[in-house]
Chain A
């Protein structure tokens, strides 16, 4: 029982870390960034380069974030900005960008699976149960991301503008909010978070040009079902991530892998606002 609870919470934490960047972009721009998986991959490779250079993890993580944010800002300025009036085209263009990034990573680093040494290894003893220390650390990481994020949105001027744009863009513009700047910063932030997530999962995962893709669908569905709010995303991750662990444990992991996508689609069909309050 305890194992399942720990599996569920750590899985939810991982899902939260991966989807939060997607969520902020969706919240502000109402588009789904299909290049999200590619930014996750970029972050992982940034971590790879960082650790190869012998940087400590305290520097590797900011490096990954900065790399992702720079890619994101560039993407917004060159591609996404021109497509706000065509949200479905924005999806396609970011998908194309994802392919391009994946191929560039392949050309630069090769297709081989690469390895990053984990900063925290081994297991810790929790209530008489040996459990992977790194997964436990991910819970803390998810909390830090959530707190930092909330602080940014509620405590800064930029956060205020961002929330204004999320609520009513026309009105915000009328009130003098520079919504194009908000979008640029948001997209950079979202991509940075994706890259940070990529760096954080490397010790559990492999580093290869397609590593981000398996996470993408779950992240999409979680963001859709959470309707663009951070607390709801946390709830969605815990509910659907928990369900995934339960199905994986008691039925089989293959069905478990589809749990989030299928449940989220059904939830949205029955209750279009998802887990958000009406």
Chain B
């Protein structure tokens, strides 16, 4: 049994327990209020609130897509509309009854999931941009509404469907039903978003590329989230239509989709509660104001949206929190215990070819950036890649780590040809890539960043946060040596440049890679930090038998730690040899006196 690595005094679990108790008490209070409110509100207010509750559920799904996953979606209204029409069409065609109700719910779920799956496939693929996903989400409701318009009596066209028999409940009970549905959705959403899985979604939002290079199939996560939120939105629409007894194309329209976004933006994105606050306040305010101020109301909403985005990006809830908590950062993960893994997950060969490149080429039209690059690197080697600016070093790293980058040639990582695979797949062959600029998850804490890095080995918990984080010894050692261990509850954006670099390295090492690609890891570091880095790298190569490929400008640094050096010049390998052979060669002198004289001077 490995010892728990107690880096800070054990935190009494009572705090966690009391927080849970407090949350449960709050939920009980809200549920009580929902049950009693109908006795105090008039019919008009009940009506407005029942509809607002269903709309708020849809707003929560927008918040999860946008606030947590970072996809600005105009399309949740389409799924809401699918639920509305699943009910209306079923009850219109087949009448109302128990089996019809089951059929309608099934239709709502299946149709929403299918449309969401298709939308997800169109929106999310390796290399798709958030902007593109946004635009596709805009097209979905527009196409759907067009279909509804063209649907004749089946969909009721622009007039919608009305006059079907639906669930016959008293207003009071509708209120309780809708209120409880909203509370349940909010509680489930909050629990999931605060769990380790929720952190992973935030990681997708913060830095999709980093996730990809941590072996996470980000597209698949995004599609799954879209399908799940689509189902929830569809059920909200189902409830909305069951209560209102009407289906109209505008329930599915892109205008409604935009309205949902505005609700989330005003309330405060990425909080779930903000979505509810936004939805309820806009729905209630519009019921009272839009009737008497039809034009001005839209104007107010537009101005409010611009103001919130410019001045209060975290919405009403954010403003409230700032006033209530005085901007004190909330720490997450300070209580997480880091623990070395019991055994290595994979059995590792101590030697063998780790990187193989044959006739590798990369062309932009007639311009050749890489041409005929060919080399092998073994386990335990620390291979440095040097060359002047524009020689193609970073391009080479990219071609080794992303199968879709190169124009020609063959690459194998740890014996696996990378074909045209995306980085997330190549990482699973044993590749780890650290970027030039520290690439971490800015809004996640150090501990959370590290846990995300373990996603492909340890599936994150869906409903809770694990108090323990097991990491490979190499990652633990970086965390401890750099001093990150003491700051593991702090958000990554607050770290110094050097610590961010160390964190990224630790994250990459958490993958247990066999091949490590590093792009100028020491740029901008202090002398001491650089030395620490050098020590870590040499021990990784010699001790852990990693194959390290390092892009570096600083010949001093290279000379001290490398076992071999490749010189890249104008897209071709100009030299490939031992440190002494390369550093003393004419060519390097020539290249570097022209362009990197400072390095060379300090080297001589």
Partner of B295, one of A107, A220, A268, A269: A107
Q: Given the complex of chains A and B, what is the CA–CA distance between A142 and B239 in angstroms?
A: 50
Q: Which residues of chain A are near B102, meaning CB under 8 Å?
A: none
- A258 touches B (CB below 8 Å): yes
Residues of A within 8 A of B365 (CB): 277-278
Among the listed A98, A106, A217, which residue makes an inter-chain contact with B139, where contact means beta carbons less than 8 Å apart?
A: A217
Q: Is B130 an interface residue (CB 8 A)?
A: yes
Docked CA distance A92–B306 (Å): 8
Which residues of A sit under 8 angstroms from B298, Cβ to Cβ?
99, 102-103
- Other-chain contact of B146, A87, A106, A254 (Cβ < 8 Å): A254
Interface string of A94-107 (1 = CB under 8 A from B): 01111110111011
Once the chains bind, are A265 and B309 in contact (CB under 8 Å)? Answer: no
- The distance in angstroms between the C-alpha atoms of A104 and B306, with both chains bound, is 15
A96 adjacent to B139 (CB under 8 Å): no
B-contacting 9-mer, from A78-86, A183-191, A230-238: A78-86
Within the complex, the shortest CB–CB distance from B337 to chain A, in Å, comes to 36
A277 to B364, CA, bound (A): 9
* Bound CA span A265–B303, Å: 31
Q: Any chain A CB within 8 A of the CB of B302?
A: yes
A47 CB to nearest chain B CB (Å): 23
Please give the number of chain A residues whose Cβ is less than 8 angstroms from any Cβ of chain B in the complex.
40
Closest residue of chain B to A94, judged by CB?
A: B306
Number of residues in B with C-beta < 8 Å to the partner?
39
The distance from the CB of A244 to the nearest CB of chain B, in whole angstroms, is 14
CB distance from B243 to the nearest CB of A (A): 28
Shortest Cβ distance from B66 into A: residue: A88
**Besides the contacts A30-B131, A224-B135, A265-B135, what 12 more A-B pairs have beta carbons closer than 8 Å?**
A86-B313, A88-B70, A91-B134, A92-B305, A95-B258, A99-B301, A99-B305, A100-B306, A104-B299, A262-B139, A272-B128, A278-B365
**C-alpha gap A224/B139 in the complex (Å):** 13
A96 near B295 with CB under 8 A, answer no
Binary per-residue interface labels of chain A (110-128) against chain B in the complex, 1 for a CB within 8 Å, 0 otherwise: 0000000000000000000
Asked whether A88 and B131 contact (CB < 8 A) given A79-B310, A96-B305, the answer is yes
Q: Does A257 contact B (CB under 8 A)?
A: yes
| Residue A71, interface by CB 8 Å | no
Bound-state Cα–Cα, A258 to B310, Å: 34
Chain A: CB-nearest residue to B128: A272
Q: Given the complex, which residues of B lie within 8 Å of A98, measured CB to CB?
A: 302
Of A79, A93, A103, chain B has the most CB atoms within 10 Å of the CB of: A103
Which partner residue on chain B sits nearest A86 by CB separation? B313
Tell me the smallest distance from the CB of B594 to a CB of chain A, in Å. 20
- A residues sitting closer than 8 Å to B (CB atoms) are 30-32, 79, 82-83, 86-89, 91-93, 95-100, 102-104, 106-107, 217, 220-221, 224, 254, 257-258, 261-262, 265-266, 268-269, 272, 277-278
Hey, which chain A residues are within 8 Å of B70, CB to CB?
A: 88
Closest 3 CB pairs of A and B: A99-B302, A96-B305, A100-B302
How far does the Cβ of B222 sit from chain A's closest Cβ, in whole Å? 14
B313 touches A96 (CB 8 A): no
Asked if B72 and A91 sit within 8 Å, CB to CB, the answer is yes
A88 touches B306 (CB 8 A): no
Question: Do A217 and B299 contact each other (CB < 8 Å), given the known contacts A92-B309, A96-B305, A269-B125?
Answer: no
- For residues 250 through 306 of chain B, which have their beta carbon under 8 Å from a beta carbon of chain A? 258, 261-262, 265, 295-296, 298-299, 301-303, 305-306
Given contacts A32-B131, A100-B299, A103-B298, contact A257 B306 (CB under 8 A): no
Q: A93-B309, A97-B306 are in contact. Are A224 and B132 (CB under 8 A)?
A: yes
Question: In the complex, what residues of A have CB within 8 A of residue B306's CB?
Answer: 79, 93, 96-97, 100
A103 near B143: Cβ-Cβ < 8 Å: no
Contact of A92 among B132, B265, B299 (CB under 8 A): B265
Q: Which of chain B's residues have a CB closer than 8 A to the CB of A104?
A: 299
Assembly CA distance A30 to B131 (angstroms): 9
| A82: contacting residue among B134, B136, B310, CB under 8 A | B310
The answer to whether B139 touches A261 (Cβ under 8 A) is yes
Asked if B310 contacts A100 (CB within 8 A), the reply is no
The answer to whether A254 and B150 touch across the interface, beta carbons within 8 angstroms, is yes
**Which of A79, A82, A220, A262 is the one whose CB lies under 8 Å from B143?**
A262
User: Which residues of chain B come closer than 8 Å to A254, judged between CB atoms?
Assistant: 146, 149-150
Q: B residues within 8 A CB of A272?
A: 125, 127-128
Is there an interface contact between B313 and A220, defined as CB atoms closer than 8 Å? no
Please give me the residue from chain B that is nearest to A31 by CB atom: B131
Which chain A residue lies CB-closest to B127? A272
Contact B310 A217 (CB under 8 A): no
State in angstroms the CA–CA spacing of A268 and B303 once bound together. Answer: 34
A-B residue pairs in contact (CB < 8 Å), sample of 23: A31-B131, A88-B72, A88-B134, A89-B309, A91-B131, A95-B258, A96-B262, A96-B301, A99-B298, A100-B303, A100-B306, A102-B298, A103-B302, A107-B295, A107-B299, A217-B139, A217-B142, A221-B139, A262-B143, A265-B136, A266-B122, A272-B127, A278-B364
- A112 to B303: give the CA distance in the assembly, Å: 23
- Chain A neighbourhood of B265, CB < 8 A: 92
> Is B138 within 8 A of A265, CB to CB?
no
A268 surroundings in chain B (CB, below 8 A): 132
| CB < 8 Å neighbour of A257 from B72, B136, B138, B146 | B146
Q: Is the CB of B131 within 8 A of A265?
A: no
Q: How far is the CB of A38 from chain B (nearest CB, A)?
A: 10
Nearest chain A CB to B64 CB, angstrom units = 15
Is residue B167 within 8 Å, beta carbon to beta carbon, of the partner chain?
no
Does residue B121 face the partner (Cβ distance < 8 Å to A)? yes
Which of B72, B121, B128, B309 touches A96 (beta carbons < 8 Å)? B309
- Least CB distance from B296 to A in Å reads 8
Q: Considering the chains assembled together, what is the distance between the CA atoms of A261 and B137 in angstroms?
A: 11
Q: Would A221 and B135 be within 8 Å (CB), given that A91-B72, A103-B295 are in contact?
A: yes
What's the Cα separation between A32 and B137 when bound, in Å? 14
B134 close to A265 (CB less than 8 A): no
Let me know if B305 and A32 touch, CB within 8 A. no
Most chain A CB within a 10 A radius of its CB, from B125, B128, B138: B138
Measured CB to CB, the closest approach of chain B to A19, in angstroms, equals 13
How far apart are A178's CB and chain B's nearest CB, in angstroms?
23
Contacts of B303 in A (CB 8 A): 96, 100
What residues of B have a CB within 8 angstroms of the CB of A83 in the complex? 309-310
Please indicate the chain B residues that have their CB under 8 angstroms from the CB of A92 in the complex: 72, 261, 265, 305, 309
Interface string of B398-410 (1 = CB under 8 A from A): 0000000000000
Residues in A neighbouring B128, C-beta threshold 8 A: 272
Within 8 A of A (CB), among B113-145: 121-122, 125, 127-128, 130-132, 134-136, 138-139, 142-143
**Residues of B303-349 contacting chain A, CB below 8 A:** 303, 305-306, 309-310, 313
Give the residues in chain A near B138, CB-CB below 8 Å. 217, 220
Residues of B within 8 A of A277 (CB): 365
A residues in contact with B309, CB < 8 Å: 83, 89, 92-93, 96
CB neighbours of A103 from chain B (8 A)? 295-296, 298-299, 302
**Cα(A107)–Cα(B150), bound, Å:** 33
B-chain residues with CB within 8 Å of residue A32 when the two chains form the complex: 131, 134-135
Instruction: Choose among A30, A79, A88 the residue with the greatest number of B CB atoms under 10 Å from its CB.
Output: A88
User: For residue A252, which residue of chain B has the nearest CB?
Assistant: B150
Kindly state the separation between the CA atoms of A28 and B265 in the bound complex, as whole angstroms.
Answer: 26
Nearest CB in chain A to that of B130: its residue: A88
| Contacts A96-B306, A103-B295, A257-B146 given; does A87 touch B139 at CB 8 Å | no
Determine how close the nearest CB of chain A comes to the CB of B205; give it in whole angstroms. Answer: 10
B139 touches A265 (CB 8 A): yes
Distance between Cα atoms of A82 and B305 in the complex (Å) = 15
Beta-carbon nearest neighbor of B299 in chain A: A103
